[in-house]
Structure 1
Amino acid sequence: MGCHESPKPQPDEHMSQAEPKATHQSFLQGYKVECKIGEGSFSEVLKCKDRTTGKFVAAKQLKKQFKSAQHASDVPELIAMRKLTVHPNILHLLESHFDPLTGKVTLVFDLMDSSLYDMIKNRKKPLAEARAKNYLYQVIKGVDHIHHHGIFHRDIKPENILVKGDLLKISDLGSIKGIYNRHPHTEYISTRWYRSPECLLTTGYYGPKMDVWAIGCVFYELLTLKPLFPGSSEVDQVARINNILGTPSSRLMAKFKKHKSRNISNFATKQGTGLNTLIPFITEAGRDVLKQMLVYDPDQRINIRRLMDHRYFQDYKDLEAFQKGLALSSSSLSMVDASGTRVNHTWKNPALLSYLMSERRRKKVAVRAKKKKPATKKDNEGPSEKQVKASCSSYPVPVHHPPAVSNTRSLARVPQGASTSSVPPGDNLKATSHPALPFPKKIETRPHVTRSLRVGVGPSSLAEPKPHQSNPALAKLKDRLTMRVQAMRQGGVAAQTKKSTDGPPPRR
């Protein structure tokens, strides 16, 4: 990777390096030209060797001449570099030079291996979908970074996407435009084969989604090694798009006509062959992402951020999240050496790191469990009178019922001291069924209070509590509960006597 001895620009440094250096020394005094890599309408690219460090760089020399360094600073590519922060999928500027003797501006970049165009041209077999998907995701991330900074590229094509190994970088930002600039923009922009319908059918009324269309065309070319819409003219370009996507609706054509339309002819109405028949060999998610990029109506076309979040790239999103979490865990994990000094370690073994982090979490949980609030004196004093009352209504009270008497029959209260010797224990009647009871019919049952009441309920209710179990509120309630039991038992005897004298109940 060729670079100048100057440090690689960081996000807070790239703006200063995007300004041309006005020196009386020629660029060739610092660099030796090895060969010409490529040439375009506005510039030529040279492979150069730094005379000081011996490293190789790519030097883009603009053909236009400038009067001064200040005038040269308005070059669109320098403007873009001042706006953008460093991103792994964008070819960033290392240096820029202005020669006042010749008026030439030279931009110095990292040296890449080749472009996507060269790779496609030299291949005999199409790329595997997994590799094409990897390249596509990198292009989308780079374009998303450009759009995030308020500009769009306007000339996405294989020639402007550079490759080094498996790394892709977007280059040639000389056609950038502000997203929020007023329409119309320049009409003749972008390379024809990758030009979106709104660029072809209107006079400059397009936006950042034209980059999404171009990315879709590049993705298809990676999968098939041939262009999707190789039109020979703008009218032919529109016709080729219609052959695959179908003729646009009258509503969409009316929308284009509002923006000073052009190239709109009376195309025959057709359905279009569709994209599925052209790429049947890729996954359903791959076809879906391509179809969402190549939508005729720009308002219905997917934007770059939603495109990056498409389910087709979920495996890359998961991997990035894992790597980010791993980096955060590695940076935060520390140990204490023998001298008691805290030492940070960067762990390179994911399995070991995962084990250490799980052990760390387990110990934290154990420490939190030990720090739970201990039981207070108030908690050990037993239930209050209010709590005992609240649970009494739901506690079963033993009472005898002859088979002929319904459990829902009302019972009369008897004075304290009435005889209950003839009532065998064991049968139950809910206390809430008696309307004369002093407690509510339905009250929440509290098990911990009910257990405390069992000391004074049933046959052992007359037993004195042990000294350590004494509670004034509980003793008072026990007396009241004893009266209730006696009244219910006496009521059962009275009901039995009355039943025996009245005879059997009438049949219903």
Structure 2
Amino acid sequence: MDRFKLIKEVGDGTFGSVWRAINKQNGEVVAVKKMKRKYYSFEECMSLREVKSLRRMNHSNIVKLKEVIRENDTLYFIMEYMECNLYQLMKDRVKPFSESDVRNWCFQIFQALAYMHQKGYFHRDLKPENLLVSKDILKLADFGLAREVSAAPPYTEYVSTRWYRAPEVLLQSSVYDSAVDMWAMGAIMAELLTLHPLFPGTSEADEILKICNVIGSPDEQSWPQGLSLAEAMKYKFPQVKGNQLSEVMTSASSEAINLISSLCSWDPSKRPKASEVLQHAFFQDCTYVPATVRTRVAGPPKTPPCVGVKGVSGHYIARRYSTGALSTTKPSSSIVKSDSLNKIGVQRKLQMDRQAPQKSTRTTESNSKLNTNRVQARNSPGNPVLRHSRSLPETGRGTMQKVSTITDKLSHMSVTSRTRTTVKPPVPLLKAGHVKADFLGKSDEIPPAKRLTRKLVS
């Protein structure tokens, strides 16, 4: 943590506080989430849902988790920094957002949800505070309550903020799925278009009443499972006819109202999937590119777990934690060529040993000096080197300076050709880190949204 300078606390929640910080090595602004409880092993840190879920996800609309650091039994998340969240934009707003802005923001979130649900996770805590904004880019954050779809029930009864909590969770159902995220997004869309929460309940019972006042009470046709849940907990739905969403959202388009109505359906099975929402008429002007066909940007070669690559600035950059699968990438031509040269050198040495044993000592010394020159050239400025090769002992330097005349001439000789050839860049050398290093490589990260007290004004 000495690499980071904490500037200002930007959020404080139940489980941790969030700070805006600067990486002293490269000047990058990051968000540092400091957890309040103590962690006495790094394995315990890596088993957290927030870490496990983000390690599996890499999406442009999901905040990236850069590093996980455990220091003095305190856990830190180093995450991508975003300027603010949607609630902060709404609370300072007088005039509602334009529908084009809402369309752009919600389309990005539904893309993230479609990717997340495809990966087998659902968020369970969607709210404006957890939707972070920087300029026109919106990203999903705070995966502390994320759950695997394949996980066996029962699930936690209390999840998400009450105003965005799905009715099946309000009725203490222990079995639910990604449809709870769809309900929350319907409520968030309505709030963005009106600047007022759609279901601002003060308790679980009042929340259900607020929902009934808007969409009407459920019955045997609309949600039979809900009536069974209510009967099991001895709760009786208020008999309210409800209003039309068009009366509540007078300035919204018919496409927006249609989408919100389908998202806020009593029956979870009747709510559309995130991938289906992206095809809705409300997003007809937006282009969705599935994650499976997106163009992958070529990056540096993959490295095994806890391996660092030394950058131009001379600092080691932590790489993504690998799953341990064997790489199928073919070796580069320079590596193949190096292996071939090594084989030729071994064969040549064996021949010389058979033909002239008396010259073997001299040849070995010459080869050793040539290898020393290669190491020295490889460690020249601008090339990545192994961390332990940063300094050389004095005896090594003295040996390098005593290179024979023949070897010195060979090292300065160059072979020219009439055809131009492109010099291939040297293959970066990798530095193997410790097996139980207390940090996670560059990965997908997350700054939690600023938790603010929201007061209900009658």
TM range (shorter): 0.5 to 0.7
Within the candidate set 84, 97, 106, 1:127 is matched to 97
Q: Which of 57, 60, 63 is 2:33 aligned to?
A: 60
Shift of 1:245: 0.7
Task: State the match for 1:81 in structure 2.
Answer: 54
Change (3 A) 1:325 1:301: closer
Q: Deviations over 1:207-230 (max 9, x none)?
A: 100000001111111111111111
Q: What pairs with 1:342-361 in structure 2 (closer than 5 Å)? A: none
- Counterpart of 1:219 (choices 183, 189, 192) is 189
Q: CA deviation at 1:274?
A: 2.1
Question: Which of 277, 298, 317 lines up with 2:247 in the alignment?
Answer: 277
For residue 240 of structure 1, what is the amino acid of its counterpart? K
* CA-CA distance at 1:267 after TM superposition: 3.3
- What is the aligned counterpart of 1:195 among 157, 165, 174? 165
Q: Determine the structure 2 residue equivalent to 1:348.
A: none
Give the Cα–Cα distance (whole angstroms) in 1 for the partners of residues 80 and 86 of structure 2. Answer: 16
Tell me how far apart the structure 2 counterparts of residues 233 and 308 of structure 1 sit (CA, whole Å).
33
Q: Distance in 2 between matches of 1:258 and 1:234?
A: 17
In structure 2, runs of 5+ residues without a counterpart are: 297-419, 421-458
Aligned mate of 1:96, from 68, 90, 95: 68
In structure 1, distance between residues paired with 2:29 and 2:117: 30
Checking the alignment, whether the CA contact within 8 Å between 1:193 and 1:230 is kept in structure 2 is yes
SS at match of 1:221: helix
Instruction: Find the residue that maps to 1:57 and give its secondary structure.
Output: strand
**CA displacement, residues 467-501 of structure 1 (integer Å, 9 cap, x when unaligned):** xxxxxxxxxxxxxxxxxxxxxxxxxxxxxxxxxxx
Change (3 A) 1:264 1:299: farther
Q: Aligned with 2:103: secondary structure?
A: helix
Counterpart of 1:155 in structure 2 is 125
Contact 1:87 1:145 in 2 (8 A): yes
Aligned to 1:502: none
Report the CA distance between 1:263 and its aligned residue.
6.0
Mapped partners of 1:104, 1:184: distance in 2: 31
Identity over the aligned pairs, expressed in percent? 31
Give the AA of the match of 1:177: R
Match of 2:257 among 287, 311, 321: 287
Cα displacement (A) at 1:124: 1.3
CA distance in 2 between partners of 1:264 and 1:226 (Å): 31
Aligned partners of 1:185, 1:156: CA distance in 2, in Å?
17
For 1:231, give the aligned amino acid: G
What is the deviation of 1:55? 2.1
Instruction: Give the corresponding residue for 2:174.
Output: 204
The root-mean-square deviation of aligned C-alpha atoms, in Å, is: 2.5
Superposed CA deviations along residues 310-342 of structure 1, whole A, max 9, x for unmatched, are 122121128x69xx9999xxxxxxxxxxxxx9x
Matched, 1:186 2:142: no
**Partner residue in 2 for 1:297:** 267
Distance 2:107 2:11 in 1: 26
Task: Give the deviation of 1:185 after TM superposition.
Answer: 0.6
Residue type of the alignment partner of 2:52:
I
**Closer, same or farther in 2 for the Cα pair 1:313/1:254, shift >3 Å?**
closer
Does the 8 Å CA contact 2:33/2:76 hold for their aligned counterparts?
yes
Tell me how far 1:121 sits from its aligned partner.
0.8
Counterpart code for 2:46:
S
For residues 410-436 of structure 1, what are the alpha-carbon distances to aligned partners after superposition, in whole Å with 9 as ceiling and x for unaligned?
A: xxxxxxxxxxxxxxxxxxxxxxxxxxx
C-alpha change, 1:288 and 1:197, in structure 2 (3 Å) is: same
Distance 1:263 1:233, change over 3 A: farther
Q: After superposition, give the CA deviation of every residue in 1:144-170 in whole Å (9 maximum; x if it has no partner).
A: 111010010000000000000000000
The one-letter amino acid paired with 2:115 is: H
Which letter maps to 1:37? V
Query: Deviation string for 1:289-318 (max 9, x for gaps)?
Result: 111111111111111111111122121128
* SS of corresponding position for 2:245: coil
1:105 aligns with one of 65, 70, 75:
75
Q: Does 1:267 align with 2:240?
A: no
1:183 shift after superposition: 2.3
Match of 1:49 among 22, 43, 46: 22
Q: Answer yes or no: is 1:317 the counterpart of 2:287.
A: yes
Judged with a 3 Å threshold, the aligned counterparts in structure 2 of structure 1 residues 262 and 43 are, in CA distance, closer, same or farther, namely farther
Cα distance, 1:182 vs structure 2? 2.3
Contact kept, 8 Å, 1:88 with 1:169, in 2: the verdict is yes
Q: CA deviation at 1:202?
A: 3.2
Query: Is 1:201–1:264's contact at 8 Å kept on the other side of the alignment?
Result: no
**Given that residues 202 and 261 in structure 1 are in contact (C-alpha distance below 8 angstroms), is that contact kept between their aligned partners in structure 2?**
no
Which digits, 9 at most, give the CA deviation of each residue in 1:125-156, with x for residues without a partner? 11011111111111111111110100100000
Question: Under a length normalisation based on structure 1, what TM-score does the superposition of the two structures give?
Answer: 0.55
Larger of the two Rg values belongs to structure:
1
Q: Secondary structure at the match of 2:32?
A: strand
Cα distance change on mapping 1:264 and 1:117 into 2, 3 Å: farther
- Write the distance in 2 (CA, Å) between the matches of 1:310 and 1:159: 25
How many residue pairs get matched? Answer: 297
Shift of 1:94: 0.9
Match of 2:373 in 1: none
SS at match of 1:64: strand
CA distance in 2, matches of 1:302, 1:53: 44
Match of 1:237 among 196, 204, 207: 207
Give ranges in structure 1 of 5+ residues lacking alignment: 1-26, 328-340, 342-508
In structure 1, give the amino acid aligned to 2:124: R
**Paired residue secondary structure (2:51):** helix
Structure 2 residue aligned with 1:482 = none
SS at match of 1:276: helix
Q: 1: CA distance between counterparts of 2:280 and 2:133?
A: 24
